[in-house]
Amino acid sequence: MSASVIFPGVYRVQGDERELIATVNLTPGRNVYGEQLLSVEGIEYRLWSPFRSKLGAAIEKGLKALSLNPGNSVLYLGVASGTTCSHISDIVGVEGHIWAVDFAPRSMRDFITNVVHYRKNLSPILGDARRPDNYASMVPEVDIIYADVAQPDQADIVLKNTGYFLKPGGKIMLAIKSRSVDVTRPPSEIYLEQKEILEQAFKVDEMLELDPFEKAHAFITATYLN
């Protein structure tokens, strides 16, 4: 068994039958969502399911560049129970930090109990991503905004938060759920519409459709032009 670097903090681990993406476990011996833990040359890796994470799906679909690096500061919008956030936590490591926002009390409780309690680089925020003014005092300027908000105004939510928190030249990653915008229109039309909204303030670097891992989803990475 062997591991090779794809991006800083992200690896391909050669399993018994195929290569799998993984991150180095920040909390050895503990998993988050039932993912397998594998030890390679004394290092413990957490396998990263592309069926449970839009970022994992984007990597499997051939994402060319990952904006994340060890030590980065991240604002995560729509953290839910923390599956993807836990892998980002592994990547940014102890020198980085993630401020994680969600409006659902039950999801936030599960996130705190199962993830935040064991990871010191996470700050949970119960709040509405449409109202960044409500948590502006809790979050500094960040290197990256990651957004996975199943709302009709997904790109607009990113723009609102950008004005408060994103550093000049910072990066965003947006998982677009087309059915949350309009179930009656073709997903490809929704993706282009959301991309055009982002282009008010960003240079879009990549846009990938996530099928078959996530139906009717796309993933955008972009650079802040400010």
What is the per-residue pLDDT for 16? 66
pLDDT at 17 over 90: no
What letter represents residue 194's amino acid? Q
If DSSP codes are grouped into helix, strand and coil, which group holds residue 188? helix
The domain in which residue 216 lies consists of: 56-224
pLDDT at 84 over 80: yes
215 and 112 in a common domain: yes
**Residue range 219-224: mean pLDDT, rounded:** 98
Contact 49, 55 (CB under 8 A): no
The set of residues, in sequence order, having a beta carbon less than 8 Å from that of 37 and lying 6+ positions away, is: 25, 29, 31, 44, 45, 46, 47
- Report yes or no on whether pTM surpasses 0.85: yes
118 and 191 in a common domain: yes
pLDDT at 15 over 80: no
Tell me the percentage of the chain whose pLDDT exceeds 90.
90
H helix intervals, the chain: 54-60, 83-92, 105-114, 154-165, 178-181, 187-198
198 and 107 in a common domain: yes
The set of residues, in sequence order, having a beta carbon less than 8 Å from that of 120 and lying 6+ positions away, is: 94
Tell me the percentage of the chain whose pLDDT exceeds 70.
99
> Could you read off the pLDDT of 198-218 as tens digits, one per residue?
999 999 999 999 999 999 999
> Could you read off the pLDDT of 119-142 as tens digits, one per residue?
999 999 999 999 999 999 999 999
**Residue range 169-192: mean pLDDT, rounded:** 93
Contact 45, 24 (CB under 8 A): yes
Beta-strand relationship, 73-77 and 142-147: parallel
72 and 32 in a common domain: no
Domain count, the chain: 2
Here the CATH number for the domain that contains residue 205 is 3.40.50.150
> Could you read off the pLDDT of 181-201 as tens digits, one per residue?
888 899 999 999 999 999 999
**Residue range 71-87: mean pLDDT, rounded:** 97
